[in-house]
Amino acid sequence: MKIGIIGTGIVGQVIGARLLEAGQDVMFGTRDVDKTLARTTPDGYGNPPFSQWIKQQPQVRLGTFREAAARGQTIFNVTAGVASLAALALAGQENLRGKILIDVANPLDSSQGFPPSLAVCNTDSLGEQIQRAFPEAKVVKTLNTMSASVMVNPALVPGDHNVFLSGNDVEAKAQVSTMLTEWFGWKPESMIDLGDITTARGTEMLLPIWVRLFSVLQNPFINFHIAAGTPPG
Amino acid sequence: MKIGIIGTGIVGQVIGARLLEAGQDVMFGTRDVDKTLARTTPDGYGNPPFSQWIKQQPQVRLGTFREAAARGQTIFNVTAGVASLAALALAGQENLRGKILIDVANPLDSSQGFPPSLAVCNTDSLGEQIQRAFPEAKVVKTLNTMSASVMVNPALVPGDHNVFLSGNDVEAKAQVSTMLTEWFGWKPESMIDLGDITTARGTEMLLPIWVRLFSVLQNPFINFHIAAGTPPG
């Protein structure tokens, strides 16, 4: 399948590499192709720049947000959450129409240092903002509650743990479930469909504790598992 | 130990009953004792009123917020989160001074119907508001991420699952850990100390997804487990 990945950061790179291994056709979109290829310094977390990463991935295409969205049959949003709406606007309403838009972004606001807060939460979410801005896209919020390594390789975390899905289009969520299984190795029983896109509030609001757990446990290979007993009655 | 329970709702009843079984001396505090005893209708969730519950618990004392806080050596806040600051103000600064205040409340705002939002979140939390309002109390936020039945009986949920602790006083958190083990049966390895009271933001912000999971899974006997793999490097 032709996949458009909106964003060139580490989350996109990890997802893109796995999609290539799974035999998919991957095009990344960025704001300014020349600028992205000219950047040779690591990102704020010490990850190598996209320009270096893409040298090891000769099959990968790089274009503008618009080109990647136009070419992709399914779109991943892996931009920084606070920049997602602007990036998707450049991708273009018409290039998202009718397509599944897998929203992996979180609206983390690090402008006040650590810990980051959320730029939107509680009575709204980034997932909802994107669905409202692009009403003809089929937004499915998923994978946003774990590090990129775990998203594409759930076996990094042993035992049972979960991935959540939020979205208004039931058929789109079913297709994304299949993608998560076939491309990334998620077991169907590990997926929890929370409901419509408003349930993205709940998954985006997991980030504040995730960030603290990451600090306390000093471990990026963590994930939430919803343990359940026998219901009463 | 003499325990003061601020609030007479179902969470307090479940905790109070367990504390009695564990041999503790329990006094509940309420705003207006006569009114609490006069109320004979179930709460909004169909739970029997306190006046009925206390008939089966002859050892339990009931007094004002102030009386329960004054008598208790350790205090539980189990009021509705949006009413906690007012209730604790009536309990009295001097009756909380130097004591461990176990804050189980969540600032759920149900005024707009389902799902509830949070009355405070993101850059602040109820736990922090309480610690700021009562600087000489040792606020420990814990147990607020699960239903009352699970708080006092973690075995209702099989397998590994966690209880989080947030608070500025390390010694107080250690004492609360011991209480969770001795009174409620929590295993030490199930407890995650997230850090200071600002980390209560993360646990209170688990409520939006908890509420959705409760709806989707139709099961109150659920809890979060932080699954972890081997860290890299």
| pLDDT for the residue B46 | 86
Domain range for A109 is 2-217
The amino acid at residue A225 is H
Question: pLDDT-based confidence at B8, cuts 50/70/90?
Answer: very high
CA–CA distance from B123 to each of A216, B68, B114 (Å)? 19, 32, 23
Contacts with A123 from chain B: Cβ below 8 Å: 117
* Nearest by CB: B229 against A205, A221, A230: A221
B231 within a domain of the structure (yes/no): no
In a 13 Å sphere around the CA of B54, the CA atoms on its Cβ side amount to 20
Residue-level pLDDT at A47: 87
Q: Does A22 touch chain B (CB under 8 A)?
A: no
Predicted pLDDT at A142: 99
**Surface of B (201-230) touching A: CB under 8 A:** 201-203, 205-206, 208-213, 215-230
Q: Does the residue A158 lie in any domain?
A: yes
**Is residue A164 less than 8 Å (CB to CB) from chain B?**
yes
Long-range contacts: B53-59, Cβ < 8 Å, 24+?
Answer: B53/B13, B54/B28, B57/B16, B57/B17, B57/B20, B59/B20, B59/B26
Cα of B113 to nearest chain A Cα, Å = 12
pLDDT band at A38 (very low <50, low <70, confident <90, very high): very high
Whether residue A194 and residue B213 make contact (CB cut-off 8 A), yes or no, is yes
pLDDT of residue A44: 80
Given a cut of 90, whether residue A43 has pLDDT beyond it is no
Residue of higher predicted confidence among A113 and B45: A113
Judge whether A143 lies within some domain. Answer: yes
Residue A46 pLDDT more than 90? no
Indicate the pairing of strand B74-77 with strand B117-118: unpaired
Task: Give pLDDT tens digits for A116-161.
Answer: 999 999 999 999 999 999 999 999 999 999 999 999 999 999 999 9
Chain B 100-159, CB below 8 Å of chain A: which residues?
Answer: 115, 117-118, 121-123, 149-150, 156-159
Tell me if B227 is assigned to some domain.
no
Chain A residue with CA closest to B153: the answer is A229
In chain A, the number of structural domains is 1
> Quick check: is A211 in a domain?
yes
Q: Which of B159, B194, B232 sits opposite A227 (nearest CB)?
A: B159
Tens-place pLDDT, residues B126-161? 999 999 999 999 999 999 999 999 999 999 999 999
- What's the whole-number mean pLDDT along residues A213-223? 97
User: Does the residue A196 lie in any domain?
Assistant: yes
Using one digit for the tens of pLDDT, what is the confidence trace for B55-91?
Answer: 999 999 999 999 999 999 999 999 999 999 999 999 9
Q: Is B223 inside any structural domain?
A: no
User: What is the C-alpha to C-alpha distance for residues B140 and B186, in angstroms, rounded to an integer?
Assistant: 16
Amino acid making up residue A220: P
Residue A223 inside a domain? The answer is: no
**Amino acid A69: pLDDT:** 98
Mean pLDDT, range B25-49, rounded to an integer: 93
Q: Is the pLDDT of residue B53 over 90?
A: yes
Q: What is the CATH number of the domain that holds B147?
A: 3.40.50.720
The Cα of B110 is separated from the nearest Cα of chain A by a number of Å equal to 12
Q: Which amino acid is at B186?
A: W
Strand partners, B74: B3, B100
